Structure 1
Amino acid sequence: MTPALAHIQSLPSWLAGRVAARGRSLVAEALAAEGLKLAHHAVLAATADYGPVAQADLGRRLGIDPKDLVGLLNHLGGAGLVLRAPDPADRRKNAITLTPAGTAALTRCAALAETANAEFLAPLTPAEQGTLTALLTRVREAAEASGGSEA
């Protein structure tokens, strides 16, 4: 019989959680060089993809609580990386856009995240890295299809 803790630690869900925590930690450490956190990077990326975007829509797309998003946007705005202005479509709402400095920061953050992920996946061959990414993508897509989506 397998000891109880060893059994838990052999479960794919436990392994995925531990590995994900290490990956997030490496990326978070890398982004700290820019004075940013993972959530800041996500806001910059989503704003680049969807901007100008209503602040409320941005929060919904990322699954970030509105109060938390205000703090993130205050930090990014204070650093000159995003602009908040009345939404031309509905002046009661704020629209978020990237500044040129925000675009440059996003480019640097993407490079830092790539470097951190290369370190993270270094124990695997390039073929294994591709297989792992493909398998994780399938599991994520299945989770999202069953209603378990998360930003």
Structure 2
Amino acid sequence: MKKYLLILFSALFFILNSCQDDEENVAVQTPVSFSLIGKGNFYGGTYVTPQKSVINNTTDWNNFLTQVNAQTNVSDSFTETNINFSQFMLIVVVDQVQNSGGHSIDIMTAIENSQNITIDVEKLLNGNAATVITQPYHIVKIQKSTKPVIFN
């Protein structure tokens, strides 16, 4: 009988402990505000490697600008090109080259938790608007962080 009571109390103990509130295990998620740097389509021979990347220094940013300005001055349409990388970093999303116009790639949200920053990327427009070769891009600026950035 003592064995049964011991088993019963042990099972009851484990059941009650497993039903505790898991609030301490839930990561606090905070929306990260971002500012638009540029959004649109590369065209006219200006195409870059498709990417979902973070630019956090002037050298990489200048290299990217050189690429996108090779055929046309795409960066003229950017809201700013002089970025203070001691305070900010850039999230750059460039889709693959498309055989028609009307495509988009869209940074929807940026969410920060204790471990990382998650960037949600979607394609809201799926093309067939014109017979022109395009490459959608979206570039935003967020506060600098040392946390890894994960793209969804």
Which protein has the bigger strand share? 2
Rg comparison, structure with higher value: 2
TM-score (normalizing by structure 2)? 0.23
TM-score (normalizing by structure 1)? 0.24
Which protein has the bigger helix share? 1
